[in-house]
A and B are shown apart, each in its own frame.
Chain A
């Protein structure tokens, strides 16, 4: 019983961090209908930025988020204006290709700046735990989980309690209608892309404390994050959070009770099964254009 509790806690903490990492991906899709394949590369960029802050400036990686978030938001805004905006309304295949190319450019840039050797951050709490008997909770996961919840809460407040949030939701639900009532959907999209990149880089700073990384690690992350947002329902922030927690729990419980060999594959089987029953994902909304595409 204690072992089950241990695994559930480990799975929930991992899921929380996955949720933060996936939130930007689903947000960008929700507003722009763009599947941003570069999102995993942004995540690893966040890890490298945190590494630089930690190794060169002595700033704790979790605190470095306060620097990384505005920097990455600005970078996201610039990337949107220069690379994404011209193809925002192009067919989805074009934007997928474009963002895949962007991922390769970011990967190569990271390789040039930081090299292709595995990078790790080892703050003192990285190998410590809160423990009671044989039950333990790693400090890094707890801090990372708390930061993830805090950032997601801020993101939630922005979306639900501010004029910007209302504009984002309006642009996501009905871009033409939003334009008609005076919302500049292009500008909103730039802000959303910036927020998405900030969320990815913030998640990356936490991920970098938990796991070692190289520029090429983004392939593994984008596969996992896409599965999470599809499971939760593309475009739904709450869906991404639910999908992430389920994914984290599935990984952990599969490793614990089935086999570690299946730990990374089994969660995808759950995604397939859910999509067979509910193609729009757990909290996704089936739109008119989705139905007409069938």
Chain B
């Protein structure tokens, strides 16, 4: 009895499989009016869930916008998004599955250098274009890849350069004499902080503390006590969101208020950051950022409006970066005229400048962007852009970190 049912069930499943296989093959040879499937694996849970969720929103805003405007090459866009749980092994398995099982037409990148490092190798092996919205670790571009492009303005080692140049040329009364560099051990954050440190040391600002910590550290009281003992004028904290918040909260508990505070990533997460450390404690915190909602860049107003319509509020930086990456992919697809010849798309990107909501982007042979980051500062409970001057939203700079003053 059971065997008969089992055989019938197997028959039904086999028929369904053939049917689905036929459908899949039908969409495989491409084109027609079938949707263009774009695959990504994003950290929706785990260490990078905050940033990954924002990136997913950015992709979704782009897909909705494109579909409302007639699609890509006249075809609707369908996103196939998986959750890699912030895990390097999972992200590799996911991108392999997107290519071999989900049969996506195009890939798009994930969040963080840590995850883009292995994921981009999967794309390269399959000769598929890989635009990454995050992942500026210099080592990513030292592997001779042909299909990889980073769609922010600069690689990690150059993201804090504008800030470092600016602070090292301040009048003596404001210029820090000593600096501390507590940094999470991460391929994106470490070169970011090293880039700033090399400029500041070159300008004569003495390093009094430099230590890395592991990503699973959640108690920052001891680290902050050590940094406080070193008594720096400037703290450059290489961080993501959780540790960025934890570190500032520990600074407040220790009543440690250095003259200047610069953090990577965390302060760019807008209201979430302000809520986590208290809006009154944000005043004067400086950070590098790729996107300004107020910028007059192509499609930016449309993106900001659509984001608010779909998710409410101002878009976080990571949502904008994802949208920008999708704009780059869209430009390459439209320039080549189909989704098959991905080598031609990569060649086209190496030779052209692409206007995006992050500004005009262009790349070198290895896919490194050749632009300059924005520098933001929390002022009066919101983010203002202070550098470079042509993109600044204010002439006013709060001269130092002033927690408790808003």
Contacts and interface: CB of A to CB of B under 8 A. Distances in A.
Q: Do A and B share a complex?
A: yes
Interface stretch (A32-40, A72-80, A186-194, A257-265): A257-265
A259 B222 CA distance: 11
B53 A256 contact: no
A31 B160 CA distance: 56
Nearest to B241: A118
Given A117-B272, A127-B249, A261 B212 contact: yes
A211 B219 contact: yes
A251 B222 CA distance: 9
Interface string A247-276: 000011001100111011100000000000
A6 interface: yes
A136 B212 contact: no
Contact of A260 (B45, B86, B222, B228): B222
B49 A216 contact: yes
B276 interface: yes
A211 B218 contact: yes
B211 A260 contact: yes
A256 B224 CA distance: 10
Contact of B212 (A116, A252, A260, A265): A260
B250 to A, nearest CB: 8
A177 interface: no
B16 interface: no
Contacts of B281: 127
A: interface residue count bin: 35 or more
Contacts of A14: 219, 221
Given A117-B53, A122-B275, A127-B249, A256 B217 contact: no
Contact of B229 (A3, A212, A260, A265): A3
Contact of B217 (A116, A118, A129, A260): A260
Given A127-B252, A216-B45, A3 B213 contact: no
B388 interface: no
A214 B255 contact: no
B35 interface: no
Nearest to A140: B253
Interface string B251-293: 0111100000000000000001001111001000000000000
B45 A116 contact: yes
Nearest to A221: B218
A138 interface: yes
B152 to A, nearest CB: 22
B365 interface: no
A180 interface: no
A117 B222 contact: no
A136 B253 contact: yes
Contact of A117 (B49, B185, B253, B277): B49
B42 to A, nearest CB: 11
A139 B185 CA distance: 29
B78 interface: no
B344 interface: no
Given A216-B85, A260-B212, A264-B216, A129 B253 contact: yes
Interface in A97-131: 107, 111, 115-118, 120, 122, 126-129, 131
B216 A220 contact: yes
B46 interface: yes
Nearest to B219: A14
A261 B253 contact: no
A129 B255 contact: yes
B225 A260 contact: no
A220 B255 contact: no
A10 interface: yes
B278 A122 contact: yes
B: interface residue count bin: 35 or more
B44 interface: yes
A6 B249 contact: no
A3 B253 contact: no
Nearest to A224: B216
Nearest to A211: B218
A24 to B, nearest CB: 20
A7 interface: yes
B245 A256 contact: no
A127 B278 contact: yes
Contact of B242 (A141, A210, A212): A212
A216 B46 contact: yes
Contacts of A3: 225, 229
B319 to A, nearest CB: 13
Interface in A177-219: 210-212, 214-216
B223 A260 contact: yes
B225 A10 contact: yes
A269 to B, nearest CB: 14
Contacts of B47: 216
Q: Which of B216, B218, B221 has the most CB of A within 10 A?
A: B221
Contacts of A7: 222, 225
B182 interface: yes
A226 B129 CA distance: 44
Nearest to B226: A256
Q: Which of B222, B229, B249 has the most CB of A within 10 A?
A: B222
A1 to B, nearest CB: 13
Nearest to A128: B253
Contact of A212 (B222, B252, B276): B276
Interface in A131-173: 131, 134, 136, 138-141
Contact of A261 (B185, B246, B249, B254): B185
Closest 10 CB pairs of A and B: A127-B252, A255-B222, A138-B253, A116-B49, A120-B276, A260-B213, A211-B218, A216-B46, A216-B45, A260-B211
Interface of A: 3, 6-7, 10-11, 14, 107, 111, 115-118, 120, 122, 126-129, 131, 134, 136, 138-141, 210-212, 214-216, 220, 251-252, 255-256, 259-261, 263-265
Interface of B: 44-47, 49-50, 53, 85-86, 182, 185, 211-214, 216-219, 221-223, 225-226, 228-229, 241-242, 245-246, 249, 252-255, 272, 275-278, 281
12 contacts: A117-B49, A118-B50, A120-B249, A120-B276, A136-B253, A138-B254, A141-B221, A211-B218, A212-B241, A216-B46, A251-B219, A260-B217
